Each structure stands twice: as structure tokens, then as C-alpha cells.
């Protein structure tokens, strides 16, 4: 164990061990994909078991490295539990992808088996079959990007600005925003849904791109997060900037906002994923401007009636690609710690 500990501290060994791990992962992934494409279930299971065994060896090694027996055992248990959870999510995704390559009959008769023949055409036919209210796949994709990317950015930015002003400045009513927000959040959607629809209908926001203006609302749950974060930021930075001649906008955008950029990025990504998958609001307010989430829901009703679940699962997996890529490239932003400043009071 001491020899392993010494090797682990060696930078060269760490570099080469990571490279070897990546190479083994690539080889294992290629072997697993080849076995699946050959529809050889037994070979695919064998490759999967080999990968799990290798993963278990790594877990045991990392759990007991530089730790006591009790501490290592605790880490190993946590490692095993999270591995099981990760595999359950990966299996759901794998099942959905493979179902998109099957025929309707295979999905109904052999739902958990590999496709006997891989129908790659299903993922292409989705683009021609997916049409709702005159919008094809790319039309609904444009609507989704418009309302999710731009809407989420406006929502988070306005919430951050409002939280900053009400937290760092004193004016009549500045202390009322938080209790008013908490009070309004207690109202269920069933009590406000009808009045909200009537209001948007009279404003002309139903089936309109002007509905993006609703994102300019700082009174939401994100206001609470930003308000709490600004409470922990030292005002010394702003005072120094004011002394150097900075105005209010400069202080906010170049001094205060950069300190909460991690929080802003994390909340923006979470908001974007929520808006991307939000089909209920799209079905109510955007029936003539369908997003991908709302369009897939209506497409599901149509495909079930026409017995084309293969196209349905293919559509599911295609729309899952953007959130998946987002997590792959920005997972550190979502899981990183939030800095609250560097000045000790």
C-alpha cells in the first residue's frame, strides 16, 4: 500500500495512469458498441461485466488509498451506491436509444432486448414526420432556443439586478420585495393559472413571441438565491470603485457581478434545462408556436395512434442531446463551489 501511495504522488505516474484509463475506456466502449451493433446480447453482457469489474478495482483502489480501513470502507460504500445510481440512469438512456432503432413490433414484444436489425432510418424519418401546427423539427427547435436561451438569460439577469439593488441600497419599499415574493409563492398554480391565461390573452402574449417579455420578471425563486449571495459580498470592493470614479453601472457589471458569475451560470443552466423541457406551458400558451417539448408531446399522441413508437423514442433521444451535451461540457459549473468574495470583515 505504501508503494501504491508513493506512485500516486508521482506526477508522471498520474499522467500515464489517466492516459491508460482513457485508452481502456475507449477500447471498452468500442467493443461494447460493436457487440450491440452485432445484436450479440451475450457478448455485450460479457463486455459490460468486464467494464464493471475494472470499475470496481478502481473504486477499491481509490477508496483505500491513504485512508484507514474504516474510512476506506465508508468511501467504498458511497462509491458503490453512486455507481448503482449512475448505472440506472445510463441504462434508461441506453434503452431509449436502442428502442429508437427498433421496429414497433420489437418494442412491443421484446422491449428489453437489443434490436435484431438496427433501423438507423428511424432517426432520419423523425425530421420529416415531426410536424405540429405547421412547424417542422427545425422550426420547433428555433422556438425552443428562442424561449429557453434568451428567456432564461433575461430571467436570471433581471433577478440578479433586482436582488443587488434591493440588498445593497436603501430606499422606501426595498425591504418589502422579499416578503411579497414569499407570500406570492404560496399561491398554487391552480388558483392563478386561469387569471394568468386571461391576462396574457388580453395582452396579446398568447401564441406570440412577445411572451419573452415575461422573463423580465425579477420576482422569482432565483431572486432569493441572488439576494442571499449579495448579502455575503463585501461592500468594500464597491466603495473602492466609487472612490476611483466608477458609476453605479460600472460597479455592478465590473465589480459585483463577476463575484456571483458562478451562481449566475449555474442558475442559468438549470433554468435553461427547465425551459427546454417545459411542455405544459407550451401546450397552454404556445399552441401555434410549438416548442420541441410541446411538439414532442403532441407528436406522442399522434404516434401512439399510428403505432409508431419507434419514431417516438427516436424523437425523445434527439431532443435529449442538447441537455446531455450541456451537462458534459458544463458539469463543473453546475457542481462547483460558489465564491463569496475575498475580503474578511
pLDDT, tens digit, 9 for 90 and up, residues 182-235: 887 777 666 667 778 888 888 888 888 988 888 888 888 899 999 999 998 888
What whole-number distance in Å separates Cα of residue 75 and Cα of residue 79? 6
pLDDT at 157: 94
| Residue-averaged pLDDT of the chain | 83
Final residue before a domain boundary, out of 60, 88, 119 = 119
- Burial of 234: CB neighbours in 10 Å, binned 0-12, 13-18, 19+: middle
- Burial of 300: CB neighbours in 10 Å, binned 0-12, 13-18, 19+: middle
176 lies in a domain? yes
Same domain, 55 and 148: no
Number of domains in the chain: 2
More confident residue, 343 or 15: 15
Same domain, 114 and 169: no
Residue 243 sits at φ, ψ, to 5 deg, of -65, -35
223 lies in a domain? yes
Same domain, 231 and 286: yes
Residue 23 sits at φ, ψ, to 5 deg, of -65, -45
Same domain, 71 and 144: no
Same domain, 46 and 92: yes
What whole-number distance in Å separates Cα of residue 321 and Cα of residue 100? 14
132 lies in a domain? no
Angle, in degrees to the nearest 10, between helices 177-184 and 221-231: 150
Band (338; pLDDT cuts 50, 70, 90): very low
251 lies in a domain? yes
pLDDT at 188: 67
Instruction: Encode pLDDT of 15-43 as tens digits.
Output: 777 788 788 888 988 998 898 888 888 88
343 lies in a domain? no
Same domain, 253 and 112: no
Final residue before a domain boundary, out of 61, 86, 119 = 119
Angle, in degrees to the nearest 10, between helices 309-319 and 292-305: 170
Same domain, 195 and 232: yes
Same domain, 104 and 158: no
Percent above pLDDT 90 for the chain: 15
Same domain, 175 and 324: yes
What whole-number distance in Å separates Cα of residue 290 and Cα of residue 310? 22
296's grid cell: 414532442
What whole-number distance in Å separates Cα of residue 298 and Cα of residue 310? 16
Angle at 213 between CA 209 and CA 219, to 5 degrees: 145
Same domain, 103 and 15: yes
Same domain, 289 and 172: yes
57's grid cell: 478495482
300 lies in a domain? yes
78 lies in a domain? yes
Final residue before a domain boundary, out of 87, 119, 151 = 119
241 lies in a domain? yes
Range of the domain at 296: 137-335
CATH code at position 283: 1.10.3720.10
What number is the average pLDDT over the span 280-298? 87
What number is the average pLDDT over the span 90-101? 90
Band (247; pLDDT cuts 50, 70, 90): very high
* Residues near 24 by beta carbon (within 8 Å), at least 6 away in sequence: 54
pLDDT at 341: 43
pLDDT at 223: 92
Same domain, 69 and 197: no
Angle at 78 between CA 75 and CA 83, to 5 degrees: 125
Radius of gyration for the chain, computed over Cα atoms and rounded to the nearest angstrom? 26
Instruction: Encode pLDDT of 41-76 as tens digits.
Output: 888 889 889 988 888 888 887 777 767 788 888 888
Amino acid at each position: 500500500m505504501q508503494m501504491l501511495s508513493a506512485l500516486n504522488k508521482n506526477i508522471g505516474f498520474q499522467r500515464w495512469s489517466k492516459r491508460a484509463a482513457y485508452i481502456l475506456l475507449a477500447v471498452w466502449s468500442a467493443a461494447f458498441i460493436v457487440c450491440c451493433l452485432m445484436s450479440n446480447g451475450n457478448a455485450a453482457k460479457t463486455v459490460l461485466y468486464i467494464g464493471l469489474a475494472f470499475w470496481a478495482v478502481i473504486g477499491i483502489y481509490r477508496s483505500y488509498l491513504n485512508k484507514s480501513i474504516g474510512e476506506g470502507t465508508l468511501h467504498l460504500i458511497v462509491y458503490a451506491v453512486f455507481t448503482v445510481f449512475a448505472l440506472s440512469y445510463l441504462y434508461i438512456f441506453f434503452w431509449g436509444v436502442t428502442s429508437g432503432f427498433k421496429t414497433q413490433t420489437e418494442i412491443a414484444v421484446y422491449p428489453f432486448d437489443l434490436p435484431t436489425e438496427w433501423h438507423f432510418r428511424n432517426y432520419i424519418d423523425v425530421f420529416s414526420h415531426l410536424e405540429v401546427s405547421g412547424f417542422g423539427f427545425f422550426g420547433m427547435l428555433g422556438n425552443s432556443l428562442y424561449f429557453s436561451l434568451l428567456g432564461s438569460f433575461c430571467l436570471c439577469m433581471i433577478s440578479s439586478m433586482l436582488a443587488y439593488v434591493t440588498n445593497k441600497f436603501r430606499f422606501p419599499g426595498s425591504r418589502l420585495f422579499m416578503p411579497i415574493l414569499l407570500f406570492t409563492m404560496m399561491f398554487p398554480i391552480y388558483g392563478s393559472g386561469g387569471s394568468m391565461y386571461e391576462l396574457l390573452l388580453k395582452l396579446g402574449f398568447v401564441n406570440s413571441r412577445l411572451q419573452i417579455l415575461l422573463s423580465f420578471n425579477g420576482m422569482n425563486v432565483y431572486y432569493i438565491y441572488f439576494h442571499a449571495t449579495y448579502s455575503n459580498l463585501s461592500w468594500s470592493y464597491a466603495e473602492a470603485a466609487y472612490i476611483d470614479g466608477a458609476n453605479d453601472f460600472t460597479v455592478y457589471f465590473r465589480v459585483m457581478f463577476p463575484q456571483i458569475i458562478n451562481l449566475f451560470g449555474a442558475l442559468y443552466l438549470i433554468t435553461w434545462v427547465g425551459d427546454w423541457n417545459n411542455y405544459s406551458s407550451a401546450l397552454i400558451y404556445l399552441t401555434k408556436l410549438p416548442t420541441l417539448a410541446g411538439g414532442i408531446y403532441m407528436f406522442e399522441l399522434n404516434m401512439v395512434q399510428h403505432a409508431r413508437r419507434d419514431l417516438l423514442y427516436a424523437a425523445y433521444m434527439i431532443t435529449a442531446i442538447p441537455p446531455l451535451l450541456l451537462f458534459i461540457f458544463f458539469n463543473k459549473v453546475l457542481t462547483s463551489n460558489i465564491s463569496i468574495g475575498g475580503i474578511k470583515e
